[in-house]
Amino acid sequence: MTTSSLSSLRELKLAGMASAYEAILSTPMDKHPEAHELIARLVDAERQNRTHRRMEMYLRLSKLRYAVTLQDVDCSPTRNFSKQQLSVLSDIAWIGRGENVLITGSTGCGKSHLACALGNHACTMGQRTLYFNMNRFCEQIAVAKAEGSVIKWLDRLKKARLLILDDFGLQPITHPVKLLLLQILEDRYERAATIIVSQLPVGKWHEYIDEPTVADAILDRIIPKAHRVELKGKSLRKRSENLSS
Ligand SMILES: Nc1ncnc2c1ncn2[C@@H]1O[C@H](COP(=O)(O)OP(=O)(O)OP(=O)(O)O)[C@@H](O)[C@H]1O
């Protein structure tokens, strides 16, 4: 009977329950839990297994550039990033409130690294996350347009509780990309969170977008509800090159 129950659990895709049940069956009979405890343990195992699988799936689909966690983030006055700022962002409530994070600073100071650590944390907390650098973002728009699947692509983005746009401001963007960006930000406004990473200080974004009306509309959807992180310090890229030479 136990073998048949085990295979039924697997057939029903209750892998967590099946493993927990198998583990219990491998213990001596007098150590087997009572019915209520058994059910509680199996349900708990199934829940944990599903949470873990979902987290792994979100991490895989997020396409984060760096596999880093919040523990890898340096907080220091020289970086202009405090433990208190990290603690505010570690509480994913800001994602639930649909707030944004704008990370700026010069090249190599660790902006993408920080954004990816926040993205990794969001995935582990069950928040669907998507990472793009602006190049890939523009490429995907071009592909979606060519395939006639822009609406589907936008729907995929809408499902992300956290969207990370890296290297914003590095290269000029076309008018159609600006309009799609505006639409994406409108879809997310007060519903879902966005992290924007840029070498350009926020004060220069309007000039970068270079079309006053569109720039007003885009910035009005991201700046008012944003946590600002202005990283300082030398390039960590140079530091790691020096260390390895
Ligand atoms: N806190 C950190 N500890 C150790 N290494 C770090 C840290 N932050 C960043 N790095 C390393 O420094 C290098 C540059 O980091 P990152 O790509 O995040 O910089 P960036 O500010 O986004 O640069 P760019 O604007 O040029 O894209 C990477 O190799 C990264 O792994």
CA angle 221, 80, 93 (to 5 degrees): 45
Ligand 1 centroid from CA 108, angstroms: 5
Ligand 1 centroid from CA 162, angstroms: 21
The fold adopted by the segment(s) 64-244 is Rossmann fold (3.40.50)
> Ligand 1: residues whose CB is within 6 Å?
66, 72-74, 105, 107-113, 167, 199, 236-237, 240
pLDDT of residue 237: 82
Query: Which residue ranges make up each domain of the chain?
Result: 2-61, 64-244
Q: For the chain, 245 residues long, give each residue's pLDDT as a single digit of tens.
A: 778 889 999 999 999 999 999 999 999 989 899 999 999 999 999 999 999 999 999 999 999 999 999 999 999 999 999 999 999 999 999 999 999 999 999 999 999 999 999 999 999 999 999 999 999 999 999 999 999 999 999 999 999 999 999 999 999 999 999 999 999 999 999 999 999 999 999 999 999 999 999 999 999 999 998 999 999 988 888 655 555 54
Residue 98: half-sphere exposure toward Cβ, Cα within 13 Å: 13
Q: Which helix (H) or strand (E) holds 179?
A: helix 175-188
pLDDT of residue 236: 87
Read off the pLDDT of residues 193-241 as tens digits, 9 standing for 90 and up: 999 999 999 999 999 999 999 999 999 999 998 999 999 988 888 655 5
Mutate which of 113, 134, 237 for ligand 1 pocket (most atoms within 8 A of beta carbon): 113
Which atom of ligand 1 lies nearest, measured to the CA of 198?
25
Which atom of ligand 1 lies nearest, measured to the CA of 109?
21
Ligand 1 centroid from CA 117, angstroms: 11
Which atom of ligand 1 lies nearest, measured to the CA of 231?
21
Instruction: Give Cα 173 distance to the centre of its chain.
Output: 23
pLDDT of residue 173: 95
Mutate which of 116, 236, 238, 239 for ligand 1 pocket (most atoms within 8 A of beta carbon): 236
Q: Which two tokens stand for residue 67?
A: 């596999």
Instruction: Give Cα 10 distance to the centre of its chain.
Output: 31
pLDDT of residue 146: 94
pLDDT of residue 129: 98
pLDDT of residue 127: 97
Longest dimension (CA), the chain: 76
pLDDT of residue 161: 97
Which atom of ligand 1 lies nearest, measured to the CA of 66?
31
- ipTM field: 0.96
Sign of CA dihedral 15, 20, 23, 25: negative
